[in-house]
């Protein structure tokens, strides 16, 4: 599917650039960087993830933060921010992959040089705690980033799903993305069609942006959410906060990804996860579909944040413009 210049011209942020920047596609022989901007990765799964990148024909350079530990962080804030700057500033690096999530990206986002990132656009990939970086980088620079499975926490696992690996193919081609995985499992909560730039990620991290200079902007956008290990009452608190902040009513449509292990644990009287999500999100009256394998799921399907997406509940489709450009010819 091709989305023409009319749709592009409508894409802007209240704070930040008025245009979308797509990073160049990868090719075999390219060098990519691996960093840990949040928590430290587990060594063995990370090495397996790096070998996967090498099997794709890529050379790998690891950042300093990958090998550091500072409590529950992969190095001090300054060190992790410097890793991001070094990878974006290095012209030999064509993509940056996050080793894992955990905690800590919200601590470094105010330290980032967004002019450096804007002037050196390249693939930036990860999810979970990386959501704060996706939101900030995209809204401050216009760069399309990728909410996708990570090297240590996903690709490095023994039972990694083949479709998670396949998501990386998005980075080597400029074909538009069509969500096709297990479509019979998709469920329509509110009928309709919607389009707009993709925005979203981990629910907990999206809520943590509220009231900051990097608050997620959902106006006219397709909002997708996911989370892990949060009981329904915790999800209730967070989606209610997004609702009160008008993030659902401002969105063009809502996509509910995977909520792994988000079931009641000890509470005898609990609303179900479905009841919580339906009550808060359905009331916005925007097209809503749920059941997407996006987030802490197996498989974990990558989504280009900032690319124009179109969702239609009639045929249960989600199509997204490629987040990659052809780049300069050799």
Catalytic residues: 128, 226, 296
Cα distance between residue 155 and residue 125, in whole Å: 13
Cα distance between residue 46 and residue 63, in whole Å: 13
Closest CA to 7 of 327, 330, 319, 242: 319
Q: How many helices (H) and strands (E) does the chain have?
A: 11, 14
Which long-range contacts does 74-80 make (Cβ < 8 Å, 24+ apart)?
A: 74/36, 74/37, 74/38, 74/39, 74/40, 74/41, 74/99, 74/102, 74/104, 75/36, 75/40, 77/104, 77/107, 77/108, 77/111, 78/111, 80/35, 80/36, 80/37, 80/38, 80/104, 80/108
Cα distance between residue 200 and residue 303, in whole Å: 10
Cα distance between residue 282 and residue 313, in whole Å: 14
Cα–Cα distances in angstroms (integers) from residue 93 to residues 105, 122, 302, in the given order: 21, 8, 21
């Amino acid at each position: 599917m091709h989305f023409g210049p009319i749709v592009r011209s409508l894409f802007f942020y209240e704070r930040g650039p008025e245009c979308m920047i797509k990073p160049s596609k990868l090719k075999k022989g390219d060098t990519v960087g691996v960093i840990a901007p949040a928590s430290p990765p587990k060594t063995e799964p990370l090495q397996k993830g790096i070998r996967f990148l090498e099997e794709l024909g890529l050379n790998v350079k690891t950042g300093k933060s990958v090998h550091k530990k500072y409590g529950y962080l992969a190095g001090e804030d300054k060190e992790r921010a410097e890793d991001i700057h070094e990878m974006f500033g290095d012209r030999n690096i064509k993509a940056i992959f996050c080793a894992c999530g955990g905690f800590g990206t919200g601590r470094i986002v105010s330290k980032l040089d967004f002019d450096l990132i804007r002037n050196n656009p390249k693939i930036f990939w990860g999810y979970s705690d990386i959501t704060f970086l996706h939101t900030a980088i995209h809204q401050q620079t216009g760069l399309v980033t990728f909410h996708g499975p990570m090297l240590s926490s996903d690709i490095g696992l023994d039972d990694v799903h083949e479709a998670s690996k396949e998501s990386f193919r998005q980075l080597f081609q400029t074909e538009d993305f069509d969500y096709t995985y297990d479509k019979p499992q998709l469920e329509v909560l509110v009928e309709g069609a919607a389009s707009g730039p993709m925005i979203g990620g981990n629910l907990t991290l999206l809520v943590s942006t509220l009231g900051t200079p990097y608050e997620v902007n959902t106006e006219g956008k397709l909002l997708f959410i996911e989370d892990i290990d949060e009981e329904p009452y915790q999800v209730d608190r967070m989606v209610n906060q997004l609702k009160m902040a008008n993030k659902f009513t401002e969105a063009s449509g809502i996509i509910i990804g995977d909520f792994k292990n988000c079931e009641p644990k000890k509470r005898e009287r609990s609303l179900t996860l479905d009841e919580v999500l339906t009550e808060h999100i359905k009331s916005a009256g925007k097209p809503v579909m749920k059941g997407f394998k996006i987030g802490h799921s197996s498989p974990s399907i990558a989504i280009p944040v900032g690319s124009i997406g179109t969702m239609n509940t009639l045929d249960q489709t989600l199509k997204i413009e490629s987040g990659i450009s052809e780049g300069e010819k050799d």
